[in-house]
Structure 1
């Protein structure tokens, strides 16, 4: 059973300006400078799947990693570097700080945010949870440290189904936040009693079923890969539904030579590595004559440019770059996060795959 939380006030997303276009020579200079600064400052660069391919390549070239937000944080925790440079959005920097409180965590800009985070403010969400004290609170990892601290469970898209099935088997009613599409997908798959917070990812929310069907006609042999943060009518067309890492695995293992991919196009960098020679096609984010806000690429992820990364390392004033999480808040956020990780161990499952 699915019931919905009331919509919060209309949200005005603060869409950022795109980074300045750099010449090849400027790019080479920034990359060389970043590599030197990483060495000098005992730092490592971790980048999300949705950042620009040149940022993902730079992370790999310098001994960092490219992954989902939880794996980025775990990599940073386990890496010997004293400083982490997190190329992603703010909640990812917070997750890294939660797992590595003793390390300095920097971001190219703290203004890089997420529509799921913006759409789930802690005051409104807490008020809603307080109004339903008989519900178990389950939140997606794509949330602020404060929202995680308010939750009973934190989940990624790779383990959300298993955890909700577990809670449903115990007779628990669930508050789910913030992504309504992912929550609805899980509710449909599990039959759990879920009260849904009404947030969404602007990238995945814009994929269009009608246009996707038309694209499939043009590419009849292509498999459709869909992230479950997408609308239900888009998910219904999928040949494979899964987290970011699960979609990469699908492209690698499925026999198809063409794939229509309904997630942020930043994934193409790692997907092409995993499935060389296969053709990847962006799923449509607008119908005929329609416009799109994200056009299949998160505008805040795009803020992680070479100039911003260099600035996070070279700036004397780190105010616009360093991530802090209050110790008490960190301790509270670790409880539901560790609950998920401990549950994963009982399934002998490695948790990956939030957006």
Structure 2
């Protein structure tokens, strides 16, 4: 029998209410069955067979297990950040999509492709940013600021997206906010406060920020990162903008997952300190095998884990879960109307912007991804 931890592991995250007050709430995650050797090989081969038989495609985020990433690539699927995952799912001809990531990614795929059946290896795989921005509290907060354009990060529920004017991802957020600022718009931003602050600083936009955070990126520590930089003075430091300001200030490259990968592949440095979920290292090593990758610290020397940067909900994606999607039709994502239709507009607006205004995207992101250019 495969090993599985049935006892949930709890995690703290910030949650804001309609008044703007923030408390610490608690969520849980669990570990999927672990497969190895012959059982693992058998499951992978069965998945490959069923993907063809069921007219299904597998799309995976950079943060999920490397075996799942490799399986997606080997079967004509896709490994990408959330923006490219959304595009791929919309444009692929498969009738069924399996989304290996967290719940908002599956919901986004369903919103864009209502005619497709969307499945996830574990429907309980969520996100602290999503959890920390409840739809009812966000609606009450938004109602207090009717003069503001509502811009929400992709890491939100379909019910929150249904209330938004724009959805953005980390690879296009700065460009879109920059354009809105040029149009004289005032912005209500949710949910990540670190990304919001960074964009506000870069663009000078009038932004009211929801108080949310990613439990992974919020744990990076500037003091420990500075110490690590001193030990590797020639290393390029790559930081995701969901990280605290003091960490971002130490970066050579600040950008999305795709921007970080681009920096490693195209950069001239031999060493890279990476401050994001360590799941991304799998793809980085494949694309730049001769470069040294160093995980940025999330804790001090006395901690049991010097760098623990891995999303517990991304880790809930397992091979057995993918097989269950195909064999049992488990984990299907459903987004009811009118929520789906109402959420569709803000996503399509983002996709149209990124497709139709590459000049604005590049201009706005100058400085966002240092030494690289547009993400």
- The TM tier, using the shorter chain, reads over 0.9
Q: Which has the higher contact order (CA 8 A, sep 6+)?
A: 1
Following the alignment from structure 1 to structure 2, what is the Cα–Cα distance between the partners of residues 308 and 344? 33
Q: CA deviation at 1:156?
A: 1.3
Match of 1:304 among 317, 334, 342: 317
The answer to which of 342-351 and 245-254 deviates more is 342-351
Return closer, same or farther for 1:342/1:17 CA change in 2, 3 Å cut-off: closer
Residue equivalent to 1:282: 295
Following the alignment from structure 1 to structure 2, what is the Cα–Cα distance between the partners of residues 294 and 98? 35
Match of 1:10 among 24, 47, 53: 24
Residue equivalent to 2:340: 330
Following the alignment from structure 1 to structure 2, what is the Cα–Cα distance between the partners of residues 322 and 314? 12
TM-score, scaled relative to structure 2: 0.88
Following the alignment from structure 2 to structure 1, what is the Cα–Cα distance between the partners of residues 75 and 263? 27
Match of 1:26 among 39, 59, 62: 39
* Structure 1: runs of 5+ lacking an equivalent: none
Residue equivalent to 1:209: 222
Match of 1:78 among 75, 91, 94: 91
Return closer, same or farther for 1:7/1:27 CA change in 2, 3 Å cut-off: farther
Counterpart mapping for 1:21-100 below 5 A: 21-100=34-113
Residue equivalent to 1:120: 133
Return closer, same or farther for 1:7/1:24 CA change in 2, 3 Å cut-off: farther
Residue equivalent to 1:230: 243
Q: For residues 251-308 of structure 1, give each alpha carbon's deviation from its aligned partner in whole angstroms, at most 9, with x where no partner exists.
A: 1111101000000111112222332200111101112324679911111111111111
Question: Does the CA-based 8 Å contact 2:171-2:255 persist in structure 1?
Answer: yes
Match of 2:152 among 134, 139, 143: 139
Following the alignment from structure 1 to structure 2, what is the Cα–Cα distance between the partners of residues 140 and 78? 22
Following the alignment from structure 1 to structure 2, what is the Cα–Cα distance between the partners of residues 242 and 49? 14
Higher strand share: 2
The answer to which of 108-117 and 21-30 deviates more is 21-30
Q: CA deviation at 1:76?
A: 2.1
* Structure 2: runs of 5+ lacking an equivalent: 1-17, 363-368, 370-375
Question: Does the CA-based 8 Å contact 1:69-1:95 persist in structure 2?
Answer: no
The answer to which of 284-293 and 75-84 deviates more is 284-293
* Count of equivalent residues: 346
Question: Does the CA-based 8 Å contact 1:5-1:196 persist in structure 2?
Answer: no
Counterpart mapping for 1:181-260 below 5 A: 181-260=194-273
RMSD: 2.1
The answer to which of 66-75 and 249-258 deviates more is 66-75
